[in-house]
Structure 1
Amino acid sequence: MTATSPVQRKIFLVATEESGDRLGASLMKVLRQRLGDAVRFEGVGGLSMAREGLVSLFPIEELSIMGFTAVARKLPMILARVRQTADAAVAAAPDILVIIDSPDFTHRVARQVRSRAPAIPIVDYVAPTVWAWRSGRARAMRRYVDHVLALLPFEPEAYRRLGGPPCTYIGHTLIEQIGALRPNPDEQRRRDAKPPVLLVLPGSRRSEIRHHMAVFGETLRLVREQGADFELVLPTMPHLLDEVREGAAAWRVQPRIALGEQEKKAAFRIAHAAFAKSGTVTLELALAGVPMIGAYRAGPVEMWIALTLAKTSSVILANLVLGENVVPEFMQRDATPDKLAAALRDVIGDTAQRRRQLEAFSRLDAVMATGSQPPSLRAAAIVLETLRGAPV
């Protein structure tokens, strides 16, 4: 009597940004561990997913476009790639479609697939920020998304309140990196020593570097002239090095550049304080126990739209997870060197502001806890439960 071979599963994934590509790669790795040779991957992804065996339909770098005006210029190409991806997904007839972040692209794909092949289950990995803006998206998503995987602990309740599809908190990938973000005893001694290490983080995209370098440099000059001593470290990635060097060349206070992910985490472990562009990095700093201030500048059109539509009291991710605005933030016109310098001095020194942040950050582990399973395992479990013909 011959043993029956396992059912071959086909999983179609779509990730169009570097962060989504990393999530997709981790998911693929766990799914292969669970299914072995009985799984096949197709879709769109980057280098990390390619290392796990995905042959992408096209290079995702084509879609690395920031800003409303830039997107408008590239819209015909973007829509053509949406159609190509949806066509490929329908033709592949997978057991599931997993769209990963980048909702302006991936949700267009999902809507087309649902209308043409309604039997294909669709999981959305990384909950769109319906709690921050365009809340009507939550209810609309019920028509084409079967399950949402949330990285932030407050998101399932937001989706329930707004009438969205089922949403499960699986945990943020930063939880798996806590050991690499927090200091050992020697690094803690450097964190507490003089001069304090000050991180400056102007952004992870070229447009962000362009908007922040000048005001960050002027702020640091003021802080130094007002008597604060510090060792300045600027973590960045290799593809941004030229822009960062060009922007920092005019700074009166020159930074040491920490290049790449490993050097960045090493800098976090010895940092005493940070001056950061608002975004995911603020949660990373908070988990590392580094008090900070946040600032954000953008083009006038982008900022007007964002501020008009925003429904949150903060854009600092650490504040949103904690449920209180412990990290000072300065947006657009408020992000002036004078205001930023005063706030930055407050987190470099031994102040009530600094102590308040440290106390709040100490609660993050409990707030973001996921139990014994890391996020990638929790994500894979829900994908497997949602497969056509589950259980596997």
Structure 2
Amino acid sequence: MRILVSAGEASGDRNGAQVLRALRARVPGAEFVGLGGEAMAAEGLSRLHDVSELSVMGFVEVLPRLAGILRILGNLVRWAERNRPDAAILLDAPDFNLRLARELRHLGIPIFYVIAPMAWAWRESRVRMLRDLDALLCIYPFEEEWFSRRGVPARYVGNPLLDDPVLAELPDRHACRRRLGFPEEGRIVALLPGSRTAEICGVLGDLLGAAEILAGEFPGVRFALPLAHPRFRPTIEAALAGHPSLQVEIFEGRTSEVLRAADAAAVCSGTATLQAALALCPEVMVYRAHPVSVFVARRLVRLSHACIVNILLGKPAVPELLQEALRPETLAGALSPLLSEGGPRETMLRDLSALRAQLGGPGFGDRAAAEILSRLAERVLTAAGGPAIVVPDAR
């Protein structure tokens, strides 16, 4: 079995690795080719392009890289034309992957889209393209019903973050601190400035400015900054050079442990906000993008909340500091009550616990792989004129 895979950003690469691992366990000879990163390469992906070539976000920010993005798209389509894979697995990155899906559909290739586009938030017109998929595998519980009611073959397969052992098991906070080299007592604040260069440049100064304020308010407080990728270390270290009095420890590849060890976190908008929630780490969401991108988004997005934690809970459980609202003093003021027992901290912890229960347990990769193989088997039987089969519940 040969499968084309396309993941347009780091989170898609990590999530795709779980799916590829589960598929290899069921189909040992499976071959994976396409667009991805180091995580999927470790599971056997032969990369035509690296995920770093595509990772960009925003309406304005994408323009300088448009020619390169279209070149990658063309290369993937030409590979599919020459090699006719048995299926395609597309992960997130809808601006890129929905265009790829349209081209692959013309070739008659079965398409499985993992991590649904946020059509429930904006651009509902994308539903028309999603109806042609063999399956849309969703990572939020409400999405299966939302898409199914609109004619999309959707299935909730669990959230991939819960396959992280730290988030699944929630080890003792003190044990996480010892493993990270922190003392068991004392306050720790996690700083997560994002997984893209533009995000980091947009919020890092405010995060470090807030850290300076908190250091004055809480003597002895320490800060932990997990890197989304090692390539961001020079940027982070250059910024830290302007704050020599701050005690900031940089970590690579240990985000969940850092969040579990921390008393509170300032987190750039994205998957990391849900990661903090599942670690039961009280948090404040931050974000700053190009003003034109924000102008367009505010006129298209139909949601009252920006943070996925608040969207899932249906209420403003996590403070959101966006654009001009993000300032060092405002961020420090939002984090301060989360560093002391009682009141806001306890309320948020109850909300985050409720969210964990809503999402279920681990097994995202296994459920996704089972769903893909089941749908492929159904397609083969139908094409051969065999009896229709009922797709079993992969959950």
Q: Is the 8 A contact 1:214 1:247 kept in 2?
A: yes
The corresponding residue for 1:244 is: 236
Please state if 1:31 is matched with 2:19: no
- Stretches of 4+ moved more than 6 A in 1? 188-193
Equivalent of 2:355, from 344, 364, 372?
364
1:227-242 alignment runs, 5 A limit: 230-236=221-227, 237-242=229-234
The corresponding residue for 1:5 is: none
Provide the C-alpha distance between the structure 2 equivalents of 1:160 and 1:11, rounded to a whole number of angstroms: 26
Q: Is the 8 A contact 1:45 1:60 kept in 2?
A: yes
The corresponding residue for 1:148 is: 136
Structure 2 letter corresponding to 1:183 = P
Structure 2 letter corresponding to 1:75 = L
Equivalent of 1:379, from 337, 347, 368?
368
Q: Is the 8 A contact 1:220 1:253 kept in 2?
A: no
Question: Shift of residue 155 of structure 1?
Answer: 1.4
The corresponding residue for 2:293 is: 302
Please state if 1:96 is matched with 2:83: no
Please state if 1:175 is matched with 2:162: yes
When normalised by structure 2's length, the TM-score is 0.87
Question: Shift of residue 131 of structure 1?
Answer: 1.4
Structure 2 letter corresponding to 1:168 = R
Q: Relative to 1, partners in 2 of residues 1:46 and 1:339: Cα closer, same or farther, differing over 3 Å?
A: closer
Alignment length (residue pairs): 376
- Aligned to 1:327, the other structure's residue is in SS state coil
The corresponding residue for 2:104 is: 113
Question: Shift of residue 368 of structure 1?
Answer: 0.6
Provide the C-alpha distance between the structure 2 equivalents of 1:288 and 1:235, rounded to a whole number of angstroms: 14
Provide the C-alpha distance between the structure 2 equivalents of 1:17 and 1:340, rounded to a whole number of angstroms: 28
Q: Is the 8 A contact 1:146 1:165 kept in 2?
A: no
TM-superposition CA deviations, 1:236-265 (whole Å, max 9, x none): 232111111111222365132232113x33
Bigger mean CA deviation after superposition, 68-77 or 356-365: 68-77
Q: Quote the RMSD (CA, aligned, Å).
A: 2.5
Question: Shift of residue 228 of structure 1?
Answer: 6.2
Q: Relative to 1, partners in 2 of residues 1:343 and 1:44: Cα closer, same or farther, differing over 3 Å?
A: closer
Q: Is the 8 A contact 2:286 2:322 kept in 1?
A: yes
Question: Shift of residue 189 of structure 1?
Answer: 8.9
Please list every run of 5 or more consecutive structure 1 residues that lacks an aligned counterpart in the other structure: 1-8
The corresponding residue for 2:253 is: 261
Question: Shift of residue 346 of structure 1?
Answer: 1.5
The corresponding residue for 2:385 is: none
Question: Shift of residue 226 of structure 1?
Answer: 4.3
Question: Shift of residue 336 of structure 1?
Answer: 2.2
Structure 2 letter corresponding to 1:320 = I
Please state if 1:160 is matched with 2:148: yes
Identity %: 34
Provide the C-alpha distance between the structure 2 equivalents of 1:287 and 1:15, rounded to a whole number of angstroms: 24
Q: Is the 8 A contact 2:9 2:93 kept in 1?
A: yes
When normalised by structure 1's length, the TM-score is 0.88
Structure 2 letter corresponding to 1:121 = P
Bigger mean CA deviation after superposition, 286-295 or 230-239: 230-239
